[in-house]
Amino acid sequence: MRATLARGALAVTSMVALAFLVPLALVTRQIAEDRALLDARQQAAAVVTALAVSTDPTVLSRAMAATADGPRQRLAVHLPGGVTLGTRRATASDVALTASRGGSLTAPVDDGLVYLQPAALDGGRSAVVEVYVPEADLSRGVATAWWSMGALAALLVAISVGLADRLGWRVVGATRQLARASKAVGSGDLTVRVIPAGPPDLVEVGEAFNSMAGRLSSVIDAERERAADLSHRLRTPLTALRLDCDALPPGPAADRMRQAVEALDAEIDAIIAGARRTAAERAAEETDLVDVVADRLAFWAVLAEDHGRPWQVVAGDSPVWLPVPRTDAIGAVDALIGNIFRHTPHGTGFRVTVTSQAMVVEDAGPGIPDPDAALRRGVSGGGSTGLGLDIVCQLARQAGGDVAVDRGDLGGARITVTLSPLPDSPAEPAPIPALRFRRGRPT
């Protein structure tokens, strides 16, 4: 855009400059010619005055010598009878024409022109005064004037282009700032704001953008508060469930029920705490995916033992930091593993692999018949809400990645979540020996 404005200013200013320069150049040359001819008339008038006094060649020679052009051999007097004093350059026909018509005449000659002025003598006779004007006098100062006007025009064009570029820089800078801020908001960063700058229209747009971003952040924070309130309402049935667990007779089943209630209570606390964080706090949060996977598999491992599900975790020794809140990462991991428990028979094994570039969860179940439909929000082929994989897709978008569903090496569904980890995360995880597909806990 800056280049376009600069080129437009260059074109317009150049056309305006040419529209003025061409006439001015012609006028300047005409002025120089008029000035040279005026000087020639003055020289001729001085000699005509001398002719009115006397036609004596000696007197005329002294009068010619007293002028500026006489000593330079530029004056001549054509007397009746064909006598000529001085250096003659005009043709005989031009001299005769001037004497007969009684008016001045300008005629071209080699390297200039001559000015012929008639002078009336007694007895009806006429003399003609000739003044030679060289080409150098006709164009004296013209080149300097043209160069000056050209330099001034070039300066004006350069100034206009510079001003246009400056204006373009303001417009482009403000527009690029708005574009960057819009992309940041589109990627989920609601804390970004712009400094309104540029022309008044762009300043108004920048202020409107800041107002919109602030409103979006307020609305999302209000929705999170509402989600926290809804989560808090789960404590009522949870309390009743805790009382029922306390009433159970001692035994392994009662212990498992109490552990499940405690875990559910902790999950509700985490959901409420995460929901009440503002958009600014969530945008600044980072999470180690390896730590989240290890923590959640420690929870799911107990249920896997009860269902007879062999499982395996493959991860590097180095953390994989993602620019997402920990609660979001936990929700995505739970959604992936929970789908396995809900949609595959007991005894179906699964494997979780975490690298710096992806998280892969695969199982040995029947697979997903329509992967494209499974990735659409609210669509489920297993009778559920269809929101589990949507939670995973949201995590992938926050982490700058994507989600793919296909059939894995274990024979069932394989869900691959590609990632764009933070710079602190290594490009590749530290190599570890392959783990045998078995039951166990992550190490």
DSSP notation for 259-289: HHHHHHHHHHHHHHHHHTS-HHHHHT--EEH
Centre a 10 Å sphere on the Cβ of residue 30 and count the other Cβ atoms it contains: 11
Q: Would you state the structure tokens that stand for residue 393, as one six-digit string?
A: 């897709």
- E strands, 374-435, are 403-407, 413-418
Residue 436 is given by DSSP the state P
Which residues of the chain are modeled with pLDDT < 70? 1-2, 5, 225-236, 270-284, 377-388, 422-443
147 class by beta-carbon count within 10 Å (0-12 exposed, 13-18 middle, 19+ buried): exposed
Q: Give the closest residue to 323 by CA, choosing from 219, 187, 179.
A: 187
What is the C-alpha separation between 137 and 400, in angstroms, rounded? 79
Is 114 in contact with 90 (CB distance < 8 Å)? yes
State residue 276's pLDDT score.
61
State residue 300's pLDDT score.
87
Sorted by sequence, the CB contacts under 8 Å of residue 36 that are 6+ apart come out as 133, 137, 138, 140
127, β-bridge pairs? 119
Q: 393: helix, coil or strand?
A: helix
State residue 385's pLDDT score.
46
Q: Would you state the structure tokens that stand for residue 396, as one six-digit string?
A: 């992938």
Type of residue found at 442: P
State residue 283's pLDDT score.
60
pLDDT by residue (tens digit) across 156-176? 888 888 887 777 777 777 888
State residue 348's pLDDT score.
92
Give the up-direction half-sphere exposure of residue 130: CA atoms within 13 A in the CB hemisphere. Answer: 28
Q: Would you state the structure tokens that stand for residue 63, as one six-digit string?
A: 């009068």
Question: What global pTM score does this model have?
Answer: 0.46
Q: Give the closest residue to 55 by CA, choosing from 104, 115, 122, 131.
A: 122
Strands 358-363 and 105-109: unpaired
Is 442 in contact with 311 (CB distance < 8 Å)? no
